[in-house]
Amino acid sequence: MAHSQGHLAANPLPPGIVGALGLNGYQLLAEVGGVGAGRLGPQVFLLVAPDPDPNVPDAGTQISLHHPKVRSEQDVIAFTQLAAQLGFLRLGGYRLALERSGLRSKIGVLNPATGGIVATIPDKHPGKLFGGGSSASSLTAALRALPPAGPPPDTANPELMHQVLLALAIGDESLTGAEAADVADRALELARENPALDPPAALEAAKNA
């Protein structure tokens, strides 16, 4: 994935979503680029902070792809990886267009080069009755196949690099959630020491350190 130099300065990220919900028992599993996975008992869902827009009132953090009854921890991991991939794309220049659907929102992944929607995340998980066409795992696979949105990332920007590395680490199936954060931190240090390392190479070096 490519990230333009100075992208964060020109396109500030949405505010953090850690304190956006006041639900009793709510867990934020991961957050990258204003996109997170949340859990409340047997429910799991995506959380998205809208892109900042001075011309539009703050709509607040929105819920998408709500799964009311997960049956395994693997389902939870899949939501976490999907959230990280959406955040990764947003960091690379893709925009996330939110369309309200009742109490939740559909997410349109918008290609900045064409202005077209290249992928859509539904507001509800289909469940077994309606098949698995829009499962978190299949959506993540489709998003990973999208082309880059811009030039290579600015490795001198530690904020951008850490978010990119965290997204890559969360999406790595060989790492647990706790391991992902530690590996991302080590990879950032390696990237600072060796600016020639791109994010995937820095992450791999950190895993093998």
Q: Are 149 and 143 in contact (CB under 8 A)?
A: no
Residue from 149, 157, 165, 184 nearest 3 by CA:
149
Tens digits of per-residue pLDDT, 137-170?
999 999 999 988 866 556 677 888 899 999 999 9
pTM over 0.75: yes
pLDDT beyond 50 at 23? no
pLDDT over 90 percentage in the chain: 36
Per-domain residue ranges of the chain: 7-152, 153-209
Task: Tell me the C-alpha to C-alpha distance, in Å, between residue 43 and each of 72, 102, 125.
Answer: 11, 18, 11
Strand 62-67: give its sheet, edge to edge: 27-32, 35-40, 43-48, 62-67
